[in-house]
Amino acid sequence: MGERLNGCVIAVLATDGVEQIELTEPVAALRREGAEVHVVSDKADRIQGFHHHDRGDRIKVDMPLDEAEADKYDGLVLPGGVINPDALRLAPAAIRFIRHFVDKKRPIAAICHGPWTLIEAGGASGKTMTSWPSLKTDLGNAGARWIDQDVVVDGNLVTSRKPDDLPAFNAKLIELLERATRRPNMAE
């Protein structure tokens, strides 16, 4: 187990319809590096994961959205799937939660359709991003510059297109969090 993210607490905001691997793989990668990771949701107990169009596993919710304090998190992950971000962008509490990370310029990582929620939270304008290709026009209309790459880093934002991009997405997410949360070594 790594130690690059020891002391970091990360929120993964998701609801029913999340693309399961886009939640489980980043969570596993972050935990391997020592981060504490909470699945935050507007649903209680469990959310329904999907493998594209097919139902996947029920995923445990660690923190109800109405109890989650955004200030307690060092970073935010927004997994995709079509249903998940489409539902979250209509939930005012979810948008307020995301907007906190946007306003505080804390690390945010969004994959696939996850950037839909960033549009609602005002986090896309002026950013260079990627996503599932069907969001290209939405992101452009929101003031983002869309490019077709496996992973794009723009300031405090990491974006990727699809599950095949997860290795690059996870690597850049960990690098960004490590830089953003680097705590001074008292021995130095």
Q: Are 21 and 80 in contact (CB under 8 A)?
A: no
Q: Is 99 exposed, middle or buried (0-12, 13-18, 19+ CB in 10 A)?
A: middle
User: Could you give the CA distance from residue 59 to residue 39 in angstroms, rounded to a whole number?
Assistant: 9
User: What are the residue numbers of the active site?
Assistant: 113
Q: Is 124 exposed, middle or buried (0-12, 13-18, 19+ CB in 10 A)?
A: buried
